[in-house]
């Protein structure tokens, strides 16, 4: 019996706009796994939008909900899980994320900005200078993403299909 096989659980980390949901859905399809998105799961169990949670409970309240959802989802297997960009900022979450193979989708700030600037459901970006905010977040979080990642894929320069192909080669 194989005892050292990694659990069939793929975790996507990376900033807002890196393409975690798009790539995650395609990857899950290719692997025959189920796709989950932690933000969608938070909204489903809370019965409220991410914006509403940030407004009523602040980022602290949102992070508590996120930690509970990550603990629950990372106990599943045969899933691909796209996590929110800030999931890695909470040390307790690292333990949950490490239950799976961690793939870092790394995107330049310009690409993150292009993909998020019209989205109203990202409360951290509902400010005067969202590009500066994305830059600050990237400076703080990129070292953490890199430290946690088993595999890093640069996004934004090739098609989702090609990126999924590259991921499959590295799994």
In the annotated binding site for substrate, the residues are 39, 63, 85, 141
**DSSP label at 75?**
T
Q: From the CB of 166, what's the least distance to ligand S3P, in Å? A: 21
50 contributes a contact to ligand S3P by CB under 6 A = yes
Compute CA distances 19 → 53, 71, 77, 93, whole Å: 23, 22, 22, 21
- Binding residues for ATP are 17-22, 122
The whole-angstrom separation of Cα 164 and Cα 151 is: 12
The whole-angstrom separation of Cα 62 and Cα 84 is: 11
The whole-angstrom separation of Cα 146 and Cα 124 is: 22
Per the CB < 8 A criterion, the answer to whether 27 and 167 are in contact is yes
65 contributes a contact to ligand S3P by CB under 6 A = no
Q: From the CB of 122, what's the least distance to ligand S3P, in Å? A: 5
28 contributes a contact to ligand S3P by CB under 6 A = no
In this structure, the strands spanning 151-154 and 34-37 are unpaired
Specify the stretch interacting with ligand S3P by CB under 6 A; choose among 24-32, 73-81, 83-91, 94-102.
Answer: 83-91
Closer to ligand S3P by Cβ: residue 9 or 13: 13
100 contributes a contact to ligand S3P by CB under 6 A = no
Q: Which of 106, 115, 122, 133 binds ligand S3P (CB under 6 A)?
A: 122
86 contributes a contact to ligand S3P by CB under 6 A = yes
The whole-angstrom separation of Cα 28 and Cα 21 is: 10
- Under the rule (CB under 6 A), what is the footprint of ligand S3P? 16, 20, 39, 50, 84-86, 122-124
């Amino acid at each position: 019996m194989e005892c050292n096989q990694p659990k069939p659980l793929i975790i996507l980390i990376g900033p807002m706009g890196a393409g975690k949901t798009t790539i995650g859905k395609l990857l899950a399809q290719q692997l025959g796994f189920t796709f989950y998105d932690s933000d969608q799961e938070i909204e489903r169990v809370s019965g409220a939008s991410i914006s509403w949670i940030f407004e009523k409970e602040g980022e602290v309240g949102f992070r508590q909900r996120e930690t509970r959802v990550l603990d629950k989802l990372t106990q599943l297997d045969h899933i691909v899980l796209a996590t929110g960009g800030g999931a890695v900022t909470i040390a307790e979450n690292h333990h949950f994320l490490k239950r799976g193979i961690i793939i870092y989708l790394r995107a330049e700030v310009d690409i993150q900005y292009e993909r998020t600037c019209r989205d109203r459901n990202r409360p951290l970006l509902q400010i005067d200078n969202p590009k500066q905010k994305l830059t600050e977040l990237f400076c703080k979080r990129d070292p953490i993403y890199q430290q946690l990642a088993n595999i890093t894929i640069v996004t934004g320069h090739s098609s989702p299909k090609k990126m999924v192909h590259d991921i499959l080669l590295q799994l």
